[in-house]
Chain A
């Protein structure tokens, strides 16, 4: 079956621009996570959705970052007024959402470069 997919795989943008990163989770998975992985670091939690609602957005670094999941499936991470420090790999993961500690299935990530 299909895994988690993310588009685009690479995104190069200029400082100050707006970007959208898309995540298609595994069908039927109600839980969806966004992480940011900077060079030489492990994934850093950004936001968690259960269904359509953001159950925990405590990892979003500031109000330039926003994520939606309007129909409880596909999610979009939106970054306004991008800064060079936003350059990283953005990872999406999904899980069945039935219990704490469910296995998370990760996508290949979107590499964002802000020039």
Chain B
């Protein structure tokens, strides 16, 4: 069965520090992988996505993610976190039956001043 695991429910980092959010997936074929960010009262916004090719993907707001097939992982990184990055982050995988996507349970990021 398709699934996504985000092992960290909450993460706190200091402003200016680096960030890595973990995502592991289970998927029967070559996956399409996504990272979304959700701020309070806002809809989910796509940060980046991976389909094929270069396993290091660049996204918006200075985020990047690396696809590692051998580890079934797609971790999100940012070299220097800003206070405005405080939000909840979701990893997603799919599609199943062409259009069904599976989301992880999310990681809440707090940024200390």
Shortest CB distance B4–A (Å):
7
Shortest CB distance B7–A (Å):
13
Q: How many residues of A contact B (CB 8 A)?
A: 28
Q: How many A-B residue pairs have C-beta atoms within 8 angstroms? Tell me.
A: 63
Considering the complex, which residues of chain A in the window 9-52 have a beta carbon less than 8 Å from any beta carbon of chain B? 31, 33, 35, 40-45, 48, 50
Q: How many residues of B contact A (CB 8 A)?
A: 26
Whether the pair B100, A43 counts as a contact (CB closer than 8 A) is no
Cβ of B63: which chain A residues have Cβ within 8 Å of it?
none
**Given that A4-B43, A42-B90 are known contacts, is A100 also in contact with B104, CB under 8 Å in the complex?**
no
Whether the pair B99, A100 counts as a contact (CB closer than 8 A) is yes
Whether the pair A108, B43 counts as a contact (CB closer than 8 A) is yes
B84 at the interface (CB under 8 A from A): no
Cβ of B106: which chain A residues have Cβ within 8 Å of it?
40-42
B residues engaging A (CB < 8 A)?
Answer: 4, 6, 32, 36, 41-46, 49, 51, 90, 92, 94-95, 97-106
